[in-house]
Amino acid sequence: MSKIWKVAVIGTGDMGKQHIKGWQLAGHEVVSVTDIDLQRARELATQFNVKQVYQDYKEAIVDRDVEIVSVCLPLALHAPVTIFAAEQGKHIFCEKPLARNFREVADMEEAVRKAGVQFGLGLQRNLSVGVQTARQYVQEGRLGRPVIFHNDSLAQIRPKRVMHDADGNGGPLMDLGCHYYIMWQTVFASRPKTVYARGQLLAKDREELAHIAKLAYDTAQVTIEYETGDVGIFTVSWGLPPGVKLKAHVDRLYGPKGGLEGGFNNNAAKLTFYDGDQVSELHLESYASLHNEQFRLFVDALNEGKPAPVGFEAGKDVLALTLAIFRSIETGEVIDFGSTIE
Ligand SMILES: NC(=O)c1ccc[n+]([C@@H]2O[C@H](COP(=O)([O-])OP(=O)(O)OC[C@H]3O[C@@H](n4cnc5c(N)ncnc54)[C@H](O)[C@@H]3O)[C@@H](O)[C@H]2O)c1
């Protein structure tokens, strides 16, 4: 029987709940939950039978029983909580995105390296079978080359207002885009070459966001060309009115021989394959839970004394691209990606 790891989940919002479920499904013990909103933490503790509840993440992390700290907090807290956990000698599994900038990343990496602990990053959507299938189809040349990957997201202004804060979660280009940037890199098996983006603030006059000092771009059109000539296109708006019924386009990947369509990184059970003039359904074996799967892979690495399969490297790749996108919006220029890597 393999080791049952003891986990402290910090933050009991949407992702905190997913982490508790995922760790328990993967056969590990969630020993505590923590949230500044104590009521919320207590409710989840009762629901999932977790013994300890804290309001202060430091108290939860110093508990001698805790071996893994699962960070499900707003982006600005990823660095301080990771650093504190590493200083206490705990392994860390942190939600995406990695951090707001490379200064924070450097401090996180230094703390983790000094402590000799492991750091995993929650890009679970990239484990979807749809992503692996897209990669296989592209790498086997079944769609021809180059391919264009077009991803679209439309939503009303986010009920979690921190999503709109440039100093908070950084808007959709930071918060949501990371899932697409890592997927493009995986499917194309290539590095970004040039970056061009335009950004707008559709929600700038909304009263609900008036308290935010610096709004993040809520709307953008992003075009990334990869070294292979493949192109990732992300069109997004989180600036639509509350209750809007307009829906995003389904994700599409296409090349000279045909295309694929569907929820590639949503753990979807099928994709549509357009092969020349033929159309067929590809039935995929989706996972019961991508969170369970990502924790299983992380713990396998811990058990074998290996680095986490997804960690700082993936997080830094995504952050470098995010920052290049912001730079392109701000300068109006096409950015040579190679010159932006810090
Ligand atoms: N991997 C994914 O698919 C995915 C999906 C959604 C969100 N996320 C990421 O997960 C992270 C959390 O997002 P969420 O949607 O769960 O947010 P959320 O707002 O639902 O939950 C965050 C929780 O953190 C708590 N909190 C804030 N400050 C705290 C502090 N100092 N100490 C303790 N608790 C504190 C809040 O009270 C809240 O309950 C973000 O980084 C987000 O980008 C990842």
pLDDT digits (tens, 9 = 90+) for 287-332: 989 999 999 999 999 999 999 999 999 999 999 999 999 999 999 9
The C-alpha angle 317, 319, 323, rounded to 5 degrees, equals 120
Amino acid 2: pLDDT: 84
Could you tell me whether strands 335-336 and 278-283 are parallel, antiparallel, or unpaired per DSSP bridges? unpaired
Cα–ligand 1 centroid distance for 157 (angstroms): 17
Could you tell me whether strands 278-283 and 270-275 are parallel, antiparallel, or unpaired per DSSP bridges? antiparallel
**What are residue 240's DSSP bridge partners?**
156
Mutate which of 33, 36, 265 for ligand 1? The one with the most ligand atoms within 8 Å of its CB, which is: 36
Determine whether 278 is exposed, middle or buried from the number of CB atoms within 10 Å of its CB (0-12, 13-18, 19+). exposed
37 lines ligand 1 (CB under 6 A): yes
57 lines ligand 1 (CB under 6 A): yes
How many whole angstroms from its chain centre is CA 32? Answer: 24
42 lines ligand 1 (CB under 6 A): no
Ordered domains of the chain (ranges, CATH)? 6-117 (3.40.50.720), 126-287+320-340 (3.30.360.10)
Determine whether 1 is exposed, middle or buried from the number of CB atoms within 10 Å of its CB (0-12, 13-18, 19+). exposed
pLDDT tens digits along 78-133 = 999 999 999 999 999 999 999 999 999 999 999 999 999 999 999 999 999 999 99
Cα–ligand 1 centroid distance for 198 (angstroms): 28
pLDDT tens digits along 3-46 = 999 999 999 999 999 999 999 999 999 999 999 999 999 999 99
Share of the chain above pLDDT 70, in %: 99
Q: What is the distance between the alpha carbons of residues 286 and 292, in angstroms, rounded to a whole number?
A: 12
